Amino acid sequence: MHVTDEIVKAGSKALFVKVDVTKAEQVRAAVDATVEEFGRLDILVNNAGIGFVGTLTETPETEFDRVMSVNVKGAYVFSRACLRPMLRASAGRILNIGAFAVDRVSALPVAFAASKGALEAMTRALAREVGRYGVRVNCLVPGLCDVGMGARLAAPRREEYRKLTALGRLGTPEEIAAFAVWLCSAENAFMSGATVTVDGGL
């Protein structure tokens, strides 16, 4: 079952639009369709991300550009498109999804770490730019979870990470999602330009 089907089954409305996050015209069309369907746009979560496995000397320039294009330009393109309706409403929340590779010793590739570092810098700069218009911008850095990249890691690597965490385990998507919801909620009305880490105490 597609996630939109689950949302509708639960009694809410949902709209699915497939886009390339690096293509501004596709992104603008998706944002326009969203505003037309729901009448407003409250929250943007920049969660699109890719990586390339390899050292810096093994990373072709084309792959470096591709990682930066999706992870950084994608957030720029979507934020730019979503800010139009947010600024008109004098309200909105943008949540960027970072990575612990930025400030921790990690075997994650340099291109990926560089792109997520840029995303954190974008978070701080954009928060300063749009805060006076009622738009908050924050960055959530999740730890390794038991799905996605965490599930694809070799068992010895997962075990090494687990031992490094204070809680002695990997996270769950539900735990990360719950915190993301809180970050974008009215209860968190005075945080902007912040990078918050939820990683089990790495």
- Per cent of the chain over pLDDT 90 is 75
Residue 105 has pLDDT above 60, yes or no: no
How many other β-carbons are positioned within 10 Å of the β-carbon of residue 165? 16
- For residue 86, give both structure tokens: 């947010």
The pLDDT value recorded for residue 101 is 72
Residue 94 has pLDDT above 80, yes or no: yes
The pLDDT value recorded for residue 128 is 98
The pLDDT value recorded for residue 180 is 98
Domains of the chain (ranges; CATH) run 15-198 (3.40.50.720)
The pLDDT value recorded for residue 34 is 97
- For residue 14, give both structure tokens: 């949902």
Q: Are 24 and 74 in contact (CB under 8 A)?
A: no
Give 113-173 as a 3 state SS string: HHHHHHHHHHHHHHHHHHHHHCEEEEEEEECCECCCHHHHCCHHHHHHHHHHCCCCCCECH
Please count the CA atoms within 13 angstroms of the CA of 21 that sit on its side-chain side. 21
The mean pLDDT of the chain is 93
- Alpha-carbon Rg for the chain, nearest whole angstrom, is 18
Lowest mean pLDDT among 73-77, 79-83, 104-108, 171-175: 104-108
The residue-averaged pLDDT of 10-22 equals 95
The residue-averaged pLDDT of 104-120 equals 82
